[in-house]
């Protein structure tokens, strides 16, 4: 096994905290990469996390100590490329071992121009972010003073439209893998696993985030899906206007950023969590059944409870009691903050795609058995 050349690197947070390590992945321009530093608690699924467009603008710290041990493959990408600013790990596996593996994590990072840093005391880093909150940072092979200046100048994600950097340019169609519905999915940073679930309900047309509501309704969909995506929902006024024109005209289902945008359209306030929810082990209570679902989550912003008079609360986070799901009382629409598609898992909440089918059936009637023209 060839030993990798070690190049010293450092991570500096905006508050001046310094973490030493070694460079992995691509070499950033000028030896400096910047972004908002967050931590993710998944034990598996690092490839899905890194290729999730919801991480645009962010540097991902993995709390699991060993990353890269089962390699990577083309089938587990959640998008066309990673949009994150960088990756921080404790120990990057020197050898991959899995029958599905076609490459290693370091190679994936280099191929897509994503810089990383390994050998970092991620336990100390995570504890610091948990106490001080997610914040801008800079890492790379440049000197600490240069990295500190870059961290201080990094704007983070507040007030920035990051959706524009990840959405598709033109509409595309995903063929049905089982159902006969016609669904339009807004791409705010949509994940491949979500599309696999939606295509089980019918044909899915993916449209850019700025697509007018009139164009969507002209397609005569059975339902409209509002996808996950990165960053602050605050700047997305035009998107909320389009959602407002869809409500009452067609069934709507939203996930993650789509949930925040639906809630915002209904008048809800959103706020930024101290360090966000990023991981595959968040307990959520379904208020209608009392069941506790273990969920996958990835968001920094949250809907304020009690700020929507026309909805009922359907799900709540048991760690911090934050809003995890809503259902509209006067129009056919619902949403959840977490990820029911959860690639690679957990799978406790996949029933929500069936609930989307039930909602479409209640408005549009049963799905045609012979397909649609």
The CATH code for residues 163-364 is: 3.40.50.880
The CATH code for residues 8-153 is: 3.50.30.20
pLDDT tens for each residue of 267-324: 999 999 999 999 999 999 999 999 999 999 999 999 999 888 889 999 999 999 999 9
Confidence (pLDDT) at 4: 62
Confidence (pLDDT) at 1: 47
Cα(360)–Cα(332) distance, integer angstroms? 8
Collapsing DSSP to helix, strand or coil, 102 comes out as coil
Q: How many CA atoms lie within 13 A of 22 on its CB side?
A: 9
Q: What percent of the chain has pLDDT over 70?
A: 98
Confidence (pLDDT) at 2: 53
Record the pTM.
Answer: 0.96
pLDDT tens for each residue of 15-43: 999 999 999 999 999 999 999 999 999 99
Residues of the chain with pLDDT under 50: 1, 373
Catalytically active residues are 256, 339, 341
List C-alpha distances in Å: 7 to 27, 179, 291. Answer: 11, 52, 49
Q: In 3D, which of 77, 58, 267 has the Cα closest to residue 156?
A: 58
List C-alpha distances in Å: 357 to 19, 282, 362. Answer: 48, 25, 9
- Would you kindly state where each structural domain of the chain is located, as residue ranges? 8-153, 163-364
């Amino acid at each position: 096994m060839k030993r990798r050349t070690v190049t010293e690197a450092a991570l500096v947070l905006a508050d001046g905290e310094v973490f030493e390590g070694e460079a992995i992945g691509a070499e950033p321009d000028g030896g400096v990469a910047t972004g908002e530093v967050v931590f993710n608690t998944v034990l598996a699924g690092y490839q899905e996390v890194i290729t999730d467009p919801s991480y645009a603008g962010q540097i991902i710290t993995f709390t699991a100590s060993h990353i890269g041990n089962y390699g990577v493959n083309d089938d587990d990408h959640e998008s066309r490329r990673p949009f994150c600013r960088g990756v921080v790990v404790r120990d990057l596996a020197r050898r991959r071992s899995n029958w599905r593996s076609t490459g290693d994590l370091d190679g994936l990072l280099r191929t897509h121009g994503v810089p990383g840093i390994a050998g970092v005391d991620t336990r100390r880093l995570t504890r610091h972010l948990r106490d001080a909150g997610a914040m801008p940072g800079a890492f790379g092979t440049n000197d600490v003073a240069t990295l500190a200046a870059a961290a201080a100048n990094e704007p983070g994600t507040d007030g920035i439209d990051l959706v524009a950097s990840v959405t598709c340019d033109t509409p595309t169609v995903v063929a049905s893998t089982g159902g006969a519905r016609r669904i339009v999915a807004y791409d705010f940073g949509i994940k491949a696993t979500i599309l696999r679930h939606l295509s089980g309900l019918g044909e899915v047309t993916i449209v850019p985030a700025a697509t007018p509501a009139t164009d969507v309704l002209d397609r005569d969909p059975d339902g409209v899906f509002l996808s996950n995506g990165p960053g602050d929902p605050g700047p997305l006024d035009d998107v909320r206007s389009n959602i407002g024109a869809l409500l009452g005209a067609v069934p709507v289902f939203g996930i993650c950023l789509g949930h925040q945008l639906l809630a915002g359209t209904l008048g809800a306030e959103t706020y930024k969590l101290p360090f966000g929810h990023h991981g595959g082990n968040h307990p959520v209570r379904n208020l209608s059944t009392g069941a506790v679902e273990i969920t996958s989550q990835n968001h920094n912003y949250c809907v304020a409870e009690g700020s929507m008079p026309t909805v009922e609360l359907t799900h709540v986070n048991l760690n911090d009691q934050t809003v995890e799901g809503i259902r509209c009382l006067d129009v056919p629409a619902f949403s959840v903050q977490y990820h029911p598609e959860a690639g690679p898992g957990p799978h406790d909440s996949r029933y929500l795609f069936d609930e989307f089918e039930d909602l479409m059936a209640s408005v549009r009637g049963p799905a045609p058995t012979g397909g649609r023209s």
